[in-house]
Chains A and B, each alone.
Chain A
Amino acid sequence: MNKVVNSIREAIKLAGLKDGMTISFHHHLRNGDYVLNMVMAEIADMGIKDLTVNASSLFDIHAPLLDHIKNKVVTKLLTDYMSAGIGHSISMGIMDTPVEFRSHGGRPADIELGRTPIDVAFIAAPTSDTMGNCTGKYGKSACGSLGYAFPDAMNAKKVVVITDNLVDYPLIDYSIPEIYIDYVVKVDEIGNPAGIVSGTTKITRDPVGLAMAQMAAKVIKSSGLLKDGFSFQTGAGGATLAAAKFLKEIMIKENIKGSYGLGGITGYMVDMLNEGCFEALLDVQCFDLKAVESIRTNPKHQEVSATHYAGPNAKSAAVDSLDVVLLGATEIDTDFNVNVNTDSNGYIMGGSGGHSDTAAGAKLAMIIAPLSRSRLPIVTDRVNCISTPGRTIDVLVTQKGVAVNPANKELKQRLVDAAIPVKDIHELKAIAESITGVPQKLKKGDKEVAKVIYRDGTLLDTIYNVPVM
């Protein structure tokens, strides 16, 4: 048996791809990914049309996809996240069918439950053997975890591994086993290492961001959850990463031994593991070289699939045991609903990723956001798009004070007792508007450009086109 084929084109042919089918991609190569563009160029050249693309995330490097949309090669998109370059075009209404946004947990659930079946999955693998045992830990394009690719590999009708580091059978330290793989293709490069992972992930030096991060760490300390066995997830950006630094200092000073760190993993979480703050890291995606090195060498740093990370259909997922998650927001409203899909002008520039999954699972879901950005208030009466329902958010940390969801009275009292400046969220909105003024209401178009589907399958919100002024 030989699974290695000569070209992507041959793999597409052998997989039987036809008009109207669904193909899938994962995003561990992030903004350095060449695979989606290579596959789509081949498909377009073969004259195949009317495809649904189910990609766990889309980055600006995938801009050629916009031409395939215009040429009707792609007529439907399913994704968990879309960066601003692609999002801007989608918001202008270039697709006839609305994009479907899911969360990182909702996507694998719908694949596994047969709601969004995949005909052909393309797995970008930094290393694979000739039978398709593959991993992201090794090779010149190493990205660490391949967590989001597992449900695609396990459920698609046909699975194609594309690698730039083909090794002899058997690859021992594999992530995805050969039992799911139909074809293996060797190419020169699957991605640009500079765009795949950062050299280092640095915390913010912005004094306001640091002030918010310190406040967030103090909220966690005062919540009653920071004790032996503590579990934690944080994002890789701005103030959330800085909060992890301050949290680490508290944990070391008070000799608190946590159980696990979760999520997209940065070097800072690796430091926390190595300094004894956690017993383990559960990693669905690596963000920097330090995380890649750690997952390759440290048995306590464990790769998990998207389903294991956040699947709402799983018998249990790691988010369900999470104590605290720190999350960002482009907007939050007075009911604590959070928008991470669109910017303040209504253009798509993100997506839930694991936002709504971790908020639902964690005992304490915290949003860190400045009160205003670019002269616009971040706290509003109603967010332009609900990405994460307010009922799952416990706390908003801003530079001017902390608002606690009224449903969580015990937490509010704990924070007041710790002299944390707790304010009603309406008061924070008023402070923001006293600085920025009240912005004009956003004008929306009448064409649906995207639907935001919650992890339980219900419709959370609809995004409309941005009208040309």
Chain B
Amino acid sequence: MRRSMLFLPGNNPNMIINGDVLGSDSVILDLEDAVSPAEKDAARILVRNTLKYLKFENCEIIVRINSIDTEYWKDDLDEIVPLKPDLIMPTKVSCADDIRTIDAYMSEIEKKHGMENNTVHLIPLIETAMGVENAFEIAKSTDRVVAMFLGGEDLTADLHCKRTKVGNEISYARSRMVSAARAAGIDVYDTPFTDVNDDEGIRVDCELAKSLGFTGKASISPRHVSVINEVFSPSHKDVDYAYEVFEAIKTAKELGKGAIALHGKMIDKPIVERARQVISMYEEIVRRNGGLD
């Protein structure tokens, strides 16, 4: 279950050691924008040691690496890949070849360390106009890509427009990303909402992203995590309906019926699959928190 992804600076040990207690399903340990050039090596060592020595409970670790047009990306991968983070997030990905370049280098590292090929997966960060236009090719570029993430801040700079709370300027990119990811059969994550003190704004932005089809959303503040988790969790009504779907299937089987209807609507394959996802997510939420809030 990955509804929320919380950015933590890769050079802040106090935040990192408590990364798994902030409520987020994943933390993104950042080696890129949050870390100044002078601190890159220190952050890399800290993140490496975090992966090596800390055991996070109920929280994935994603590492955001520097883009391939910098001198840091290979060093980042050299240190991080052998420790098998849940995901690596390459940045400023503009085309499928960017991912293939990273994929090839990761395969070399995996081989060198006796790891199976494709052990470590990718969640590319799409934050350029070119990246948005190539989103489907990026999503399909290698088997390592299991999700994509839209970065609205850099994208609007590339689009020569202003980033706003309403987000009309990224509405095309959002829809295109969702469509590309879903066509490729992978998850897709929305850009962070950057006003840390706007509790209503984050909720509206989450609900918009969910309505467009995003799997979840990233955050730059722990304050936003609970709202993201809440919006991207199934509702009580969703859960009840999902159990009803399986109850109806069971009853139909007992009665030897082929076609199954629930509340006057036919239950088809997508409904069953959706019900399965809802129940799976609900059971994980119960395991972690005891139930829905």
- Among listed A62-70, A115-123, A205-213, interface-contacting one: A205-213
Which residue of chain A is the closest to B293 with respect to CB atoms?
A253
Verify A419–B54 contact, CB threshold 8 A.
no
Q: Is B183 an interface residue (CB 8 A)?
A: no
Contacts of A3 in B (CB 8 A): none
Our pick among A207, A400, A420, A435 for the contact of B290 (Cβ within 8 Å) is: A420
User: Nearest Cβ in chain A — how far from B77, in angstroms?
Assistant: 26
Chain B, range 55-71, C-beta contacts under 8 Å to A: 57
Is the pair B57, A419 in contact by a Cβ cutoff of 8 Å?
Answer: no
How far is B55's CA from A434's CA once the two chains are assembled, in angstroms?
Answer: 10
The answer to whether A211 touches B290, judged by C-beta atoms less than 8 angstroms apart, is: no
Residues of A within 8 A of B53 (CB): 434
Is B286 interfacial (CB-CB < 8 Å)? yes
A428 to chain B, nearest CB (A): 13
Could you tell me the distance between the alpha carbons of A19 and B290 in the complex, rounded to whole angstroms? Answer: 65
Give Cα A434–Cα B15 distance, bound, in whole angstroms. Answer: 16
User: Known contacts A419-B286, A419-B288: does B54 contact A435 (CB below 8 Å)?
Assistant: yes
Within 8 Å by CB of B18, from A399, A417, A420, lies A399
0 or 1 for each of A389-424: is its CB under 8 Å from B? (1 = yes): 000000000011000000000000000011111000
Q: Is the CB of A419 within 8 A of B287?
A: yes
Chain B: interface secondary structure? helix
**In the complex, chain B residues whose CB is within 8 Å of the CB of A421:** 57
CB-CB under 8 A for A400 and B21, given A207-B222, A207-B223, A210-B222: yes
| In the complex, chain A residues whose CB is within 8 Å of the CB of B289 | 419
Interface size for A (C-beta < 8 A) is: 15
CA distance A420 to B57 in the complex (A): 13
Residue numbers in A under 8 Å from B222 (CB-CB): 207, 210-211
Residue of B nearest to A205 (CB): B223
In contact, A211 and B286 (Cβ under 8 angstroms): no
Q: Which residues 425-443 of A sit at the B interface, judged by CB distance below 8 A?
A: 434-435
Q: Contact check, A211 vs B21: say whether CB atoms are below 8 A apart.
A: yes
Question: How many inter-chain residue pairs (CB < 8 Å) link A and B?
Answer: 35
> Do B17 and A435 touch (CB < 8 A)?
yes
Q: Which of B53, B54, B222, B291 has the most C-beta atoms of chain A within 10 angstroms of its own C-beta?
A: B222
* B279, CB-defined interface residue at 8 Å: no
Q: Which residues of A contact B286 (CB under 8 A)?
A: 419
Report how far A399 CA is from B18 CA in the complex, Å. Answer: 8
Contacts of A210 in B (CB 8 A): 222
**Contact present for B290 and A399 (CB under 8 Å):** no
Most buried by B among A207, A208, A417, A421: A207
- Chain B minimum-CB-distance residue to A398: B21
List which B217-238 residues lie within 8 A (CB) of chain A: 222-223
Least CB distance, A375 to chain B, in whole angstroms: 10
Interface presence of B23 (CB below 8 A): yes
Contact indicator per residue, chain B 17-47, by CB within 8 Å of chain A (1) or not (0): 1101111000000000000000000000000
Shortest CB distance B179–A (Å): 35
Q: Please encode chain A, from 32 to 46, with 1 for each CB lying within 8 Å of some chain B CB and 0 for all others.
A: 000000000000000
Contact residues, B1-29 vs A (CB, 8 A): 15, 17-18, 20-23
Which chain B residues numbered 251 to 293 have a C-beta less than 8 Å away from chain A? Answer: 286-291
CB distance from B176 to the nearest CB of A (A): 33
- Determine if B23 and A419 form an interchain contact, defined as CB atoms under 8 angstroms apart: no
B223 proximity list for chain A (CB < 8 A): 207
Find B21's partner among A208, A417, A420, A434 (CB 8 Å cutoff).
Answer: A208
Residue of A nearest to B17 (CB): A435
* Chain A positions 204-231 with a Cβ under 8 Å from a chain B Cβ: 207-208, 210-212, 222
Q: Which 9 residue pairs across A and B have the least CB separation, nearest first?
A: A419-B290, A207-B222, A399-B21, A211-B21, A208-B18, A418-B290, A435-B17, A207-B22, A399-B18
16 A-B residue pairings within 8 Å (CB atoms):
A207-B15, A207-B18, A207-B22, A207-B222, A207-B223, A208-B22, A211-B18, A211-B21, A211-B22, A212-B21, A399-B21, A418-B290, A419-B288, A419-B289, A419-B290, A434-B53
